[in-house]
Amino acid sequence: MARRTISSRSDVENLIYGCAFMGTGGGGNPRLGVEVLTEALERELRIELVDAEDVPDEAWTCCAFGMGSIAPKTAETVAEMRRWGLVKKIAEGTARMLPYAVRELESYLGIEFDAVVPIELGGANTAGAVLAAATHGVPVIDGDYVGRAIPEIAQTAPCIKCKRITPLICHDEWGNICIIKEAVNYALAERIGKLISVAGYGTGMAGFPMKGNEMKETVIKGTLSEAMELGRRVREARERGKDPVREAMEFKGGWLLFKGAVSGKNWESREGYMYGTTLIKGMEEFRGEEAKIWFKNENHILWIDGEPKVTSPDLIEVVDLETAEPITNTDLKAGDRVAVIGVKCVEIFRTERGLEVLGPKHFGFDIEYIPIEERMK
């Protein structure tokens, strides 16, 4: 199989910050992602990307991912965790739980996986899948099941194409292990998994066991190598004194949607998700305008002066105005000077079924989905 090796910290940073850019405000903290993969290199684990088409049809693959709200843990939440006796962790961070979840899924099914697929692109979620593959001595697929980050299992290509995703293993940082053997539909698999993640304050997951031929029918190919190239170009633009925001936008064929300073962020953690809105006061060519972004873990609706501008499934990226470093909704705060970039989603999410699960009406908004390239004319 043709493989690409990640062998240096710069490789790691390029991959993780490229994935975090595609995470649309979710997908986990990229600093954690860099940390866990740098540790993997220090442990001399081999990190390899393999093209999906080079995986044998009969090889077994699984998907590893984190589940739960991306909201910061308040003092009240930490006190609540202590009351439940959650004081001693196996390891820090949900991303580090994915190797444990994959091992449990192998044990439950009585098979060994030949490759691991990330569920999405994100700073920590992709890193956790890469770590799971490296820990098990197998490659990670150069691809994922969404082409961005999403809050719900049903918003993935395997679910759109009616593939089996159970059994699902849930393994949290404390050592609690649950198995979702069956679920009557994808929405219930998501709900059950999220409620388990609420109980464990986040959990590592493994599921979507598929042979190579089925994986190849559903995976969005080449997204990890593309993320690495995006991360490299943005980093080199900064080093050369060029505009990294423009570099990211041009590489992805995207649009500059807004520039401004964050004036406020309202949020709540509910049912395993972080819900909220971000307000941004315009600056430079956007002076006098106001943007509002609604998020459910990830960014899904952007309004400018009260008019819908871009919606999911297209991507709404918030990055630092000077460095183009992606900022998750966990970390975004008042005063941050940001650029908002829009990027086309992959085509499967523009199908009828794709829009049912990731369009604005899925999130309860009476807004018609209009492709970003049409809105930007």
pLDDT in tens, 5-44: 999 999 999 999 999 999 999 999 999 999 999 999 999 9
pLDDT attached to residue 124? 96
pLDDT at 53 over 80: yes
pTM over 0.85: yes
Q: What is the pLDDT of residues 140-182, one digit of tens each?
A: 999 999 999 999 999 999 999 999 999 999 999 999 999 999 9
Average pLDDT, stretch 115-126?
97
What rounded mean pLDDT belongs to the chain? 96
* Predicted confidence (pLDDT) at residue 91 exceeds the cutoff of 90: no
Mean pLDDT of 293-298: 98
The 3-class SS string of the chain reads CCEEEECCHHHHHHHHHHHHHCCCCCCCCHHHHHHHHHHHHHCCCCEEEECHHHCCCCCEEEEEEEECCCCCCCHHHHHHHHHCCCCCCCCCCHHHHHHHHHHHHHHHHCCCCCEEEECCCCCCHHHHHHHHHHHCCCCEECEECCCCCCCCCCCCHHHHCCCCCCCEEEECCCCCEEEECCCCCHHHHHHHHHHHHHHHCCEEEEEEEEEHHHHHHHCEECHHHHHHHHHHHHHHHHHCCCCHHHHHHHHHCCEEEEEEEEEEEEEEEECCEEEEEEEEEECHHHCCCEEEEEEECEEEEEEECCEEEEECCCEEEEEECCCCCECCCCCCCCCCEEEEEEECCCHHHHCHHHHHHHCHHHHCCCCCCCCHHHHCC
